[in-house]
Structure formats: C-alpha cells, structure tokens
Amino acid sequence: MLTKRSMLGNRREGVNKTLRRHEPTRTLYKQKFSEPLKRKQKNLYNPKEEARLERVVFGDPSDVINNLIDKECLVQPNIKKNDYHAPIDDTCDDSNELSEEHGKRAAWVDEDDVQYSVQDAAKAQNRRLADDVPEKLYKDYLSNKYKQLVGTPKWAELNKTDKESTDDLDNEILKHSCHLERAIIRNLPKSVIDIKALTPINKETHTEGPVVSSVEFHPSSIVALVAGSSGILSLFQVDGVESNKLHTMRYDKFPISSAKFLRDGTEVLVGSQYHPHCHSYNLLSGKTHRIQLPHGITNMQKYEVSPDGKLLALCGRSGEIYLLSASSKELISTLKMNAKCRTLYFTPDGRRLVTHGDSNEMYIWDVNGRACLHRAVDNGCLSCTSVAISPSGQFLATGSKEGVVNLYSVEQVLNNRYPVPLKIVFNFTTSITSLKFNAHSEILAMASDKKHNAFKMMHLPSFTVFSNFPTFQTNILMPEAIDFSPASGYLAISNRSSSAFLYRLKHYGNY
C-alpha cells in the first residue's frame, strides 16, 4: 500500500522530469545561439547546363550559317539560265527581294478557315449575300471587307521596318537652329490625323495676358513668339518638352493685338488696336524701337507681311488699305474699298493682294500698279472676318460672321465674277476669326474665338474634316491664333485663357 506521502513524492518527481525535459540545457543553448548562422547554399554554377539552356532558348550559333545556306538555296532556282556566268555582287542586300517573293509566313494556320466557305457562313447565319462575291473563303471575305471599311492597321503592315519612334522629340535634327535635312514628301492621309499634345509653349510664363493674340514660329530657328493683351512678348525654344523661355519684352500700357517676324526672323513687329504707333524689336541687337505710324493710320490691329518681306498691308477704319515699307514703316500707297476692310492676304508670289470685309465682294489688287484688278462675289457671305491663301497658290479660303468657310480655287476667283466654292464648311455656328494653311497646302485650320473648342482642320485636296481632333477630352477653350511650323511638324493654338498650346503632327518629320 502506497502511503499518502509516497504518492506526493512520486508526483513531484514526475513534474521535475517534465520540466527538465522541456527546459533546454546550457550546452544546447550555446550551440544554438552562440554559433554564427549558416547561409543557405546556392546552386553551384554548371556551365554545361547553362550552355544547354542557351541552345534551347536562343538557338545554336551554327543555325545562322545553316539559315544562310537555306536562303541561298531558295534564291538559286530563280536565276535564269543565261545568267549563270554573270558576276555576282556580294554587297547587295536581297532581304527585301526575299520578303517580297516569298512573303511572311503566318504564325498559325486554322484548318477551319481554309475549309469554311462564304456559302457555308451565309447559310449558318441565315443570310443572303450578293451573287457576285469574288471571295470563296469566308476568311478572305471578312478580311477584304475590313480593309474597305477601316483599312490595314499599322501593326499589320508587312512592309513595316524597324525605326525609332516618332514620339522621340529629342531627334538630333530638332536640336539645330536651321533646317539641315530636307523633308520627305508623303501624302497626308485623310479623315484621321496623327496628332499628339505636348507641353504648352508658354507654360513657364503664362503672363502674356488673358488673351494670347499672337503665336508664330520662327522661319528658320526652333523658336516661337507668344504675345498677348498684357503687353508682354515672349520668345520660347520649341522642343515639346520644356519650352524654355529665351527672352521677354514688356510694353507698358500697350495691349498687343498682333506680332509677326520680319526680315527673315531678325525683327519682330508689334502692333495694337488702341494706339497709333508700333514697336520694333531687333533680335540681333536686343533693342526695341517705338515707331509712329503715318498720318491717318490710327491702329495696327490687323496687318499682313508680303512674302518677300518688303511690304506691310494694314486695314483702315473706313475701307482704306495702307501699304507701308517693311524697313522704314513709311506709307507707300493707299487703296480704297467700298466697305470696311476687315481682313487681307497676299498671294504667294506677292504680286496681288486680296481684301475682304463688310460686303459680299472680294477685292483683288495689283500690288505694283496699286489698282483693283478684279472683284469676285463670295458665295453666301454678308460680312467676311478672315481670309487665307495656300502657299501653293491653289486654294483661297474665306470665313464669314455666320460661321461658314468657303474654299475656292484661286484661278476661279481671279477670273470669274461669281466663283463656285470647291467646298463649303458648316461646322461652325459663330464667326470665323482664324484661317491658316500649312506649308504643304495639305491642311486648312479653322477657328472661332466665340465658342469653346471651336477648332477644325480640313484635309486637302479631299476636302474632308479630320474627325479625331479636337475630341471631347481636348480643352482648347476659345482659340485665338493659329500657326504651323515651317515644315508643319508642329501646330500652335493660342486662346483667351493665357495659354499657347503646342501639338505634334507626326506625319511631318521636321520642325
């Protein structure tokens, strides 16, 4: 019989054994926490395994020679019998010929596409197609239908070559001050234009005024001027990324209505609708001069420079057109219309001047003879607010207060009393305040400063308006002035909210 004391002793002994079992000994503690931790071993480098994986992934280098031999075998049967002894030019590149003759192989071939005919598809869809469908396979029918409606996407073009992205605005040619590379002439596609919004030109300042009345690109350097109602004229470097400010001129109590480059870009002429004087800023010397306008000229709100840079044409208050010397700003001659002159434009050769205003007639003047050569009736126009002539001398555009743009042939306007427009644009509901052709005469930009996003571009000579610009996300606000860079690579649009937006036309490569 176990006594009560012995039972308590056995229980204590069992508890002590349990505690000793769970308590780590001093030796195990030192062994576990005193020794440095061992790093996990990495897989040993196996050069044979790496070489095997390279052959699997990248192929064997000997395959390149084998492929060249195979290509020579493909070209060999195409040689004519009488050309066996002709010398072979090893320097020529036959890769293009191979791709044209043999084409690119499809990534995969679907057996159903080869077997599925147009009749089977029409029967399955309970449709009835025309009897004169030339395609036999349903795959070819869908492919041709898509090309007719949409066209071939760029990613699906077989003749696409590896080029640097046109989004790279740091192209080396744009870093030079002059045009060192001749632009490659390609026809501009219609309906959709490839355009990209860049950093605004005056992002660094925004002090030119609430109304940015003038924006213009330099004729030979990657520079643009921005001027507005606050009397500030700023020059910026055009790169689409930073648009660094180069210089700023401030004219106190002189709201700028128009500013243009003169003398091949060495001078800037600044005019205002509120003062009978103008300012001339010399870019080479950095000096500005105030010039009093000749007697009778009360403002310089609207003026144009002749293509040769020798003459200035100004609109008067009561139908007068003043011709001034671009160098001395002295009055040369005065022309007179029967209505108030609101807009004018020189022909590309500089021999004629077209004026328009508060009537339905366009006046064509002989610049050298100082006489009116012809008057043509503008179709449906009661009062004209803008005129532009394409650099090619082929098209003439007029914009009216009613928001209608008429596009004429210059030859018809010069020879007919009632010329018929080639195209009438009804996309606007407010007066047209700006018209501008690009240097290639492929785009006509139209704008109205009376309505938000009232801006359109028309493709020439198809006379179709580009549908993808502006979009609902585009926020031009009220466009004021328009200008294209000398090679049409950039488009500038100023507005009545202190901004001068910059856009990249990717179809054109140069500035």
Q: What is the pLDDT along the chain (511 residues), one digit of tens a residue?
A: 555 556 656 666 665 655 555 555 555 555 555 556 555 555 566 777 777 777 766 666 555 445 544 544 444 444 444 443 444 344 444 444 444 444 566 667 777 777 778 778 877 877 777 767 778 788 888 888 777 776 777 666 666 555 545 555 455 545 444 444 555 567 899 989 999 999 999 999 999 999 999 999 999 999 999 999 999 999 999 988 888 999 999 999 999 999 999 988 999 999 999 999 999 999 999 899 999 999 999 999 999 999 999 999 999 988 999 999 999 999 999 999 999 999 999 999 999 999 999 999 999 999 999 999 999 999 999 999 999 999 999 999 999 999 999 999 999 999 999 999 999 999 999 999 999 999 999 999 999 999 999 999 999 989 999 999 998 889 999 999 999 999 999 999 999 999 999 999 999 988 8
d(CA 227, CA 347): 26
The three-point CA angle 213-217-222 to 5° equals: 140
Q: State the pLDDT at residue 171.
A: 53
Phi-psi region of 209 (alpha: psi -120 to 50; beta: other; left: phi over 0): left
d(CA 66, CA 15): 82
Exposed / middle / buried, residue 244 (Cβ in 10 Å: 0-12, 13-18, 19+)? exposed
Identify the helix (H) or strand (E) that includes residue 32: helix 26-33
d(CA 315, CA 481): 18
**What's the Rg (C-alpha) of the chain?**
38
Q: State the pLDDT at residue 264.
A: 87
d(CA 256, CA 227): 7
Phi-psi region of 380 (alpha: psi -120 to 50; beta: other; left: phi over 0): left
Return the structure tokens found at 482.
């328009």
d(CA 148, CA 151): 6
Return the structure tokens found at 143.
């492919």
Which residue from 294, 366, 359, 363 is spatially nearest to 332, judged by alpha carbons?
A: 294
List of residues 6+ apart from 78 with CB closer than 8 A = 101
For residues 232 and 210, the answer to whether their CB atoms sit within 8 Å is no
Exposed / middle / buried, residue 168 (Cβ in 10 Å: 0-12, 13-18, 19+)? exposed
Q: In what order do the strands lie in the sheet with 267-271?
A: 258-262, 267-271, 277-282, 288-292
Q: State the pLDDT at residue 7.
A: 62
Strands (E), 251-404: 258-262, 267-271, 277-282, 288-292, 303-305, 311-315, 320-325, 331-336, 341-346, 352-357, 361-366, 371-377, 384-389, 395-400
Burial per residue of 9-30, b for 16 or more beta-carbon CB atoms within 10 angstroms, e otherwise: eeeeeeeeeeeeeeeeeeeeee
Burial per residue of 93-116, b for 16 or more beta-carbon CB atoms within 10 angstroms, e otherwise: eeeeeeeeeeeeeeeeeeeeeeee
pTM beyond 0.85: no
User: Any idea of the CA torsion for 424, 426, 427, 428, to the nearest 10 degrees?
Assistant: 120
Q: State the pLDDT at residue 74.
A: 45
Count of beta carbons in the 10 Å neighbourhood of residue 219: 13
Task: Give backbone dihedrals phi and psi of 95, rounded to 5 degrees, phi first.
Answer: -65, -35
For residues 354 and 363, the answer to whether their CB atoms sit within 8 Å is yes
Return the structure tokens found at 338.
């029967």
d(CA 89, CA 169): 39
The three-point CA angle 85-86-91 to 5° equals: 130
Burial per residue of 439-468, b for 16 or more beta-carbon CB atoms within 10 angstroms, e otherwise: bbbbbbbbbbbbbebbbbbbbbeebebbee
